[in-house]
Chains A and B, each alone.
Chain A
Amino acid sequence: MLRYALKRLLSLAISLVVASLVIFAVIEVAPGDPASFMLGINAQPDTVAALRSELGLDVSKAERYLNWIGGMVRGDFGTSYTYRTPVGQMIADRMWVSLPLALYALALSTIIAFPAGIYAAARRGKPGDMAVMGATQLGVAVPNFWFAMMLVLVFAINLRWFSAGGFPGWDEGFWLALKSLTLPAIALALPQSAILARVMRSSLLDILGEDFMRSARAKGLSRRQALWRHGLRNALIPVLTIIGMQFAFLLAGGIIIEQVFFLPGLGRLIFQAISARDLIVVESVVMLLVFAVILVNFIVDLAYAAVDPRLRART
């Protein structure tokens, strides 16, 4: 197990280095110099030069890359070009919206998907199964931002149960803040839960065909008992992988939903930063999201290997 973990850790590190290089390179080819962009077209050349050196833009590309990476490792994400505030602080503030939103959506998605998937698997081929599968087919076809708009139309504009957008902040009270994240979370969760329910169902169906399930039935357990006692636990392994992947997707996928609901999360930060050419912010937010995805995958891999020893031997 230790060897496997070290091996995965090494590939995690390599992935992060390569990812950071790619992001840095993409940002580098972006046209426009942040310093001259900030100062406008009438700026004196020496003012621009001074700002460039203040922003750390006057050193070589390699040095800039190392400064960026070194800073991030120490927790210093640099200073925003436009707001002149530490990027780390900006990201941390926005995280308080994006992270709860992703977790909320993940919880909803799981709550919907588990019963739906189990129900469908238990009634394979019957009308109940067909209904659930039909619903999931529709669920994966719906773009989440459009679903979000429809939710706003029904629950905010017509029924007035929720506000159409905005975020009061956690200081205004936990429930009020949670309420303003509810519609966005539902919009994010529903398409995800459709996928999760399908995975849950097919994973359970795979397990139902295993020899140990037949043994469980043979020793006298009813179909239902066998399903709950032996089937579910084994079927959960692939489902957990998908949940891990979905968390990363929800964190990133939130950025479009945040646009629909005008939530001050990472998504709005990234769009604002892009239009203001605030590249250091863009760079750091993207790197952070990639880091989150890679880290979640790493944890899932380890958990997987801990549960299923066969996987350790295979790689």
Chain B
Amino acid sequence: MIRSRNLFIGGLLCMIVLVAAFVSFFWTPYDITTMDIPNKLKTPNAQNWFGTDHFGRDIFSMIMIGARTSLAVAIVAVGIGMGVGVPLGLWAAAKKGGWADEIIMRGNDLVFAFPSLVIAILITAIMGAGAINAIIAIGIFNIPVFARLTRSGALSLWEREFILAARVAGKSKIRISFEHILPNVANLLIVQGTIQFSLGILAEAGLSYVGLGAQPPTPSWGRMLADAQTMVSFAPHLALVPGLAIVFAVLGLNLMGDGLRDMLDPKIRVVRS
């Protein structure tokens, strides 16, 4: 029962974030592009559920739009990681032991060796701060994760009879990779995808916090925290709310990932019960 509870709670949290981000395209409680100085630094109340910031903007509305930024960055970053990493992993497994495998895996080792945060900072600092470059910086580090996972999953599949049967039937390695290997590693990829997604949200928040992620006026949770830093002593809610939003989203994704893993991977389920 525990596994379905994880999935349920995680899915619920993710759904709330997703809906908040989606609704923010059409409607937010207040317009966040206008200032309302007389109303500044209000603590949470009936009108402004999460209070207002130093410009009198409604924090609840900013959190909603910030969810959009976080999700967009994380989705594209995971997309880059999967889009490049999965084919590389499939290729490496199909040509196991060959030069392609060797180069891909050594390349992966190399990316792993870089402290991801430092390189992300380097990339955004050199190419300019902004959401797009933050996405690229985060996405690059997702590539080896998916390549490695795909390769290890695929390697064991290549030994199986049904793959042998496909080969005997005359299918090319590329076709087998996509038609038979990929569907069988999809579960692994989905679970890892949710984890990388949550790491992406954390990374985006970190980069935005040091001013290298989404730029104003685009609200982002990390930026809101950076803005809050000098005011934390007299307006703690400015720092509290965006931080809790990040925890909320990341926790939701992690729980969902755990739940999915237990549901999709029968082997782990046996060990646990």
Q: Is the beta-carbon distance between B113 and A290 smaller than 8 angstroms?
A: yes
Interface residues on B, range: 35 or more
Q: List CB contacts (< 8 Å) of A135-152 with chain B.
A: 137-138, 140-143, 145-147, 149-150, 152
B254 interface contact, C-beta 8 A = yes
Task: Write out the residue numbers on chain A whose beta carbons fall within 8 Å of the beta carbon of B260.
Answer: none
Given known A-B contacts A145-B225, A260-B229, A19 and B114 have beta carbons under 8 A apart: yes
User: Which of A146, A256, A282 has a CB less than 8 Å from the CB of B210?
Assistant: A256
Among B51-59, B119-127, B175-183, the one that faces the other chain is B119-127
Type the 1/0 row for A259-275, where 1 means its CB is closer than 8 Å to any CB of B. Answer: 11000000000110010
User: Which of B119, B123, B198, B246 has a CB less than 8 Å from the CB of A146?
Assistant: B246
Q: Is the beta-carbon distance between B250 and A293 smaller than 8 angstroms?
A: no
A92 interface contact, C-beta 8 A = no
Interface residues on A, range: 35 or more
Q: Is the beta-carbon distance between B236 and A256 smaller than 8 angstroms?
A: no
Given known A-B contacts A18-B110, A150-B243, A256-B210, A248 and B115 have beta carbons under 8 A apart: yes
Give the interface centre of B110, B115, B225, B246 by most chain A CB atoms within 10 Å: B115
B202 interface contact, C-beta 8 A = yes
Task: Write out the residue numbers on chain B whose beta carbons fall within 8 Å of the beta carbon of A11.
Answer: 106, 109
Task: Write out the residue numbers on chain A whose beta carbons fall within 8 Å of the beta carbon of B109.
Answer: 11, 15
Task: Write out the residue numbers on chain B whose beta carbons fall within 8 Å of the beta carbon of A66.
Answer: none
Q: Is the beta-carbon distance between B254 and A141 smaller than 8 angstroms?
A: yes
A294 interface contact, C-beta 8 A = yes
A14 interface contact, C-beta 8 A = yes
Given known A-B contacts A141-B250, A149-B229, A19 and B239 have beta carbons under 8 A apart: no
Q: List CB contacts (< 8 Å) of A8-45 with chain B.
A: 11, 14-15, 18-19, 22-23, 26-27, 29-30
B118 interface contact, C-beta 8 A = yes
> Which partner residue on chain A sits nearest B251 by CB separation?
A141
Task: Write out the residue numbers on chain B whose beta carbons fall within 8 Å of the beta carbon of A147.
Answer: 243
Given known A-B contacts A143-B243, A146-B246, A270 and B232 have beta carbons under 8 A apart: no
Task: Write out the residue numbers on chain A whose beta carbons fall within 8 Å of the beta carbon of B243.
Answer: 142-143, 146-147, 149-150
Given known A-B contacts A259-B210, A270-B121, A19 and B113 have beta carbons under 8 A apart: yes
Grouping DSSP codes into helix (H, G, I), strand (E, B) and loop, the B interface class, with mixed when no group exceeds half, is helix
> Which partner residue on chain B sits nearest A191 by CB separation?
B202
Task: Write out the residue numbers on chain A whose beta carbons fall within 8 Å of the beta carbon of B206.
Answer: 143, 145, 256
Q: Is the beta-carbon distance between B246 and A30 smaller than 8 angstroms?
A: no
B50 interface contact, C-beta 8 A = no
> Which partner residue on chain B sits nearest A156 by CB separation?
B233
Given known A-B contacts A141-B251, A248-B115, A249-B115, A255 and B121 have beta carbons under 8 A apart: yes
Give the interface centre of A30, A137, A149, A260 by most chain B CB atoms within 10 Å: A149
> A14 to B254, alpha carbons, bound, how many Å?
36
User: Which of B232, B240, B254 has a CB less than 8 Å from the CB of A152?
Assistant: B232
Task: Write out the residue numbers on chain B whose beta carbons fall within 8 Å of the beta carbon of A303.
Answer: none
Task: Write out the residue numbers on chain A whose beta carbons fall within 8 Å of the beta carbon of B236.
Answer: 153
B154 interface contact, C-beta 8 A = no
Q: List CB contacts (< 8 Å) of A96-144 with chain B.
A: 137-138, 140-143
Q: List CB contacts (< 8 Å) of A221-274 with chain B.
A: 248-249, 251-253, 255-256, 259-260, 270-271, 274
Given known A-B contacts A143-B205, A146-B225, A294-B113, A271 and B247 have beta carbons under 8 A apart: no
> Which partner residue on chain A sits nearest B126 by CB separation?
A30
> Which partner residue on chain A sits nearest B125 by CB separation?
A274
Could you list 7 examples of A-B contacts with CB < 8 Å? A26-B126, A140-B250, A143-B247, A146-B242, A253-B117, A260-B229, A270-B121
The 4 closest A-B pairs by CB, nearest first: A252-B115, A146-B243, A141-B250, A141-B251
Other CB < 8 Å A-B pairs besides A153-B236, A256-B117, 20 of them? A15-B113, A19-B110, A27-B126, A138-B247, A143-B205, A145-B225, A149-B228, A149-B232, A150-B239, A157-B232, A252-B117, A255-B121, A256-B206, A256-B209, A260-B229, A271-B121, A274-B121, A274-B125, A286-B118, A290-B113
